Amino acid sequence: FAVGVVEKNRIVTGQNVEPSDSVIGLASSGLHSNGYALVRRICFDREKLSLDQHFDQLGETLGQALLRPTRIYVKSIVNLLKKYKVKKVVKAMAHITGGGLVGNIPRVISDDLDVVLQAKKWPVPPIFDFLRERGPVEQNEMYRVFNMGIGYVLIVAPDFTRSIMAHLRKLGETPYFIGK
């Protein structure tokens, strides 16, 4: 296996994040690998659903929605970091894993800052509404457990938001400006 080494001055630490910085979210492919204990409780223990059931709300079978492979962002992020200065332009990054948006973003910024997300800025894949309604699960809990359609977050200098988003689109990503 290969081991990568990052020069110390290229490590994205989040220490330069400022209140005016932009938050860019990259679309997820669905649940990724998060929240399956809650999914199991809702879909199988409570609702007694089967993986081969088709749901119009999902536009596919439950199995297709739940077992969609996790998107991997590494190629796009490595390419992005070759083009833009770390710490000055790309200031922080978070892979949205267990703990959802609420638990992962605070890990990459200082304690004296907050991130304000605008949930209407990106489409939430149908699986999340399906789970919320059938749970029922409160909206705040959904954002604490799941990625809600955003699998990776970048915090960037505001003057570079548009160019970074354009570059990410060229790399095959679906970026959204989701907050500050």
What is d(CA 164, CA 2) in angstroms, rounded to the nearest whole number?
Answer: 28
Query: How confident is the model over 53-63, as pLDDT tens digits?
Result: 999 999 999 99
- pTM of the prediction? 0.91
Residue 50 exposed, middle or buried by CB count within 10 Å (0-12, 13-18, 19+): exposed
Asked if the model's pLDDT at residue 5 lies above 60, the reply is no
Token code pair at residue 155: 């915090």
Q: Tokens 């199991």 identify what position?
A: 40
Average the pLDDT over each of 50-54, 86-90, 106-110, 142-146 and give the range with the smallest value.
86-90
What does the mean pLDDT of the chain come to? 93
What is d(CA 179, CA 115) in angstroms, rounded to the nearest whole number?
Answer: 7
